[in-house]
Amino acid sequence: MSAEKPGPTGNGSEPTGLALQRKLSLVDLLDPLTFGDVVESLGALYQVGVRVLDERNRTLADAQGAHGEFCGFIGANPTVRVRCSAQVTRVKEGPLAALPPSQVLGTEGAGELLLHTCLTGLCYVVVPVVWEGDVLGRVVFGPYASDEGGTPVCPEGPDAERVREAWASARHLSQEELARMVTHLSQVLTALLAAGQKSYLTGQLHLEAMVETQRELEHQNSQLLRLNQRLKESDRSKSSFLSTVSHELRTPLASIIGYSEMLAEGLVGGLNPEQMQFVRTIMEKGNTLLKLISSILDMSQIEAGKVRLAFEWVDVREMVESAITSVTPQAQRKGLTLEANLPVGPQPRVVADREKLRQVVVNLLANAVKFTPSLGRIEVRLSEVGTRSELATAGYHIEVEDTGVGIPENQRDRIFQSFYQVDDSPTREYGGAGLGLAIVKSYVEGHGGQVSVRSEVGKGSCFRVVLPKEPPLSGQGPAYIPPPVDTEPERF
Ligand code: ADP
């Protein structure tokens, strides 16, 4: 049965997936339930048995015909039964090319029909199912009694008459009827195979597209992982480079500062005013450089995850006062008013690393001094907060407010990133490396706290640190500050 492949669907694109390269089978192309119904109704319509087998001789559909009575009589003879079933097996399972055609029916639309006359006198017609040049299986019609001749094999004995009667009532088919039936099935099969192929290929191409997308995603994922790994490695190298360089710079710098201090104190003889001025400048610039190097070293330690917090009970007010003292000389030099507003109970204590906490306040105050023009004002406030604070636990707010240049809104999230400065031009007015706030954020968060900023350009800024009385991990001894991740700071 040469089921003809229909012409192109007209969408102009020939699919080229792997699904097209594979030889399809009837099982791939036909829906067993629908096809079973079609064959069933065809068998009922023509009153002939129809069996459809795939290329591995598996039965896909089977409609019984009206030959039962005759075959029953014939089958009662053991010798005939054995030969009969051997013939049936050959017709249904034997290689198509090896089937000895007794007769070939050439019928338009039906291809070649191989007619087999059974030893019982009944006939079978075997029609190969061919799709796109491949033999996908066969259809077996019959058995039936041919109108064109054929005589029954009648056993001798009392049943002979009944066998002749059964033969007479068996389904008789003319060649034309047979050709009509084959053409009928051929047309239905062509339509079903075309529809089945379309939906099979669509399904396969969809599947292949999904598999391809998945493969691409996996590839991109592994590339990202590799890149990430390389970034981490270069980050580690950067931190270790910064740490080594800073350490190596600090030692000679300490000598420069020490010797210029001795010169200024007159330990090696008096200096004239001009010499004194030069020595003081050396000391001042040396100290600025030392602070810068210390910040770089601190940040590289934080990024390497090497900063350890030594928790102890700390008097917050005393710690804030000490930080204020350390920036008072710079504030005075600029003519700034530095006010402390610390109205908390007798012993405001937190569990913290005192030095790290002091550095937090010093960094905020140093920025306030740096970014506030002469005659401006800086206020430091300390207040106790209850469990309804941002942290949902009791603690303290430390606020450093200035009347300085302010920070544009679109920069406020980024100033806590390391090396970020609002003005990063080579001609920028203020010194610094852009590390002070990154260190503040890491230290405060290491204590289980938060830092935030509000600001108005040209009017000033207010940095607020909220600290819990006891950091979550402080009960378990010293803690390491985790390396920073890119998160946006809280604002209020
Ligand atoms: P540095 O001060 O060394 O540049 P920081 O990390 O301390 O680095 O601050 C980052 C940037 O945030 C500063 O360069 C500045 O632009 C801005 N900034 C910080 N504090 C203030 C402030 N009080 N007023 C205005 N701008 C500030």
Check whether 483 has a pLDDT greater than 80.
Answer: no
What SS3 class is residue 207?
A: helix
Q: How far apart are CA 405 and CA 377, in angstroms?
A: 12
Q: How remote is the C-alpha of 125 from its chain's centroid?
A: 57
Nearest CA to ligand 1 atom 19: 367
Nearest CA to ligand 1 atom 8: 434
Q: How far apart are CA 460 and CA 444, in angstroms?
A: 22
Q: CB of 404 within 8 A of CB of 460?
A: yes
Pairing of strands 308-309, 312-315: unpaired
Check whether 373 has a pLDDT greater than 90.
Answer: yes
Check whether 150 has a pLDDT greater than 90.
Answer: no
Check whether 209 has a pLDDT greater than 80.
Answer: yes
Check whether 66 has a pLDDT greater than 60.
Answer: yes
Which H/E stretch holds residue 449?
none
Reported as a single tens digit per residue, the pLDDT across 74-85 is 667 777 677 777
Half-sphere exposure of 103 (CA within 13 A, CB side): 14
Q: How far is the CA of 458 from the centre of ligand 1 (A)?
A: 14
Q: Which of 334, 341, 344 lies closest to 368 in space, CA to CA?
A: 334
Whether the CB of 415 sits within 6 Å of ligand 1:
yes
Check whether 318 has a pLDDT greater than 80.
Answer: yes
Q: CB of 64 within 8 A of CB of 50?
A: no
Give residue 5's pLDDT. Answer: 45
Check whether 302 has a pLDDT greater than 90.
Answer: no
Give residue 478's pLDDT. Answer: 67
Measured distance between the N- and C-terminal CA atoms of the chain, rounded to whole angstroms: 81
The preferred substitution site among 421, 423, 454 for testing ligand 1, maximizing ligand atoms within 8 Å of CB, is: 421
Q: CB of 215 within 8 A of CB of 221?
A: no
Tokens for 28? 């791939």
Nearest CA to ligand 1 atom 14: 421
Whether the CB of 404 sits within 6 Å of ligand 1:
yes
Q: CB of 51 within 8 A of CB of 154?
A: no
Tell me which of 47 and 117 has the higher pLDDT: 47
Which whole number is the average pLDDT over 248-263? 91
Q: How far is the CA of 367 from the centre of ligand 1 (A)?
A: 6
Give residue 433's pLDDT. Answer: 82
Grade residue 116 by pLDDT with cuts at 50, 70 and 90: low
Give residue 367's pLDDT. Answer: 95
Q: Which of 386, 404, 406 lies closest to 396 in space, CA to CA?
A: 386
- The pTM score is 0.56
Tokens for 320? 């804030």
Pairing of strands 111-117, 103-107: antiparallel
Give residue 75's pLDDT. Answer: 67
Strands (E), 199-348: 308-309, 312-315, 337-341
Reported as a single tens digit per residue, the pLDDT across 383-438 is 998 877 777 788 999 999 999 999 999 989 899 998 888 876 666 677 778 999 99
Q: How far apart are CA 261 and CA 255, in angstroms?
A: 10
Whether the CB of 405 sits within 6 Å of ligand 1:
yes
Burial class of 428 by CB neighbour count within 10 A (0 to 12, 13 to 18, 19+): exposed
Check whether 110 has a pLDDT greater than 50.
Answer: no
Quote the crossing angle between the two packed helices 175-264 and 273-303, to the nearest 10°: 150
Check whether 265 has a pLDDT greater than 70.
Answer: yes
Grade residue 98 by pLDDT with cuts at 50, 70 and 90: very low
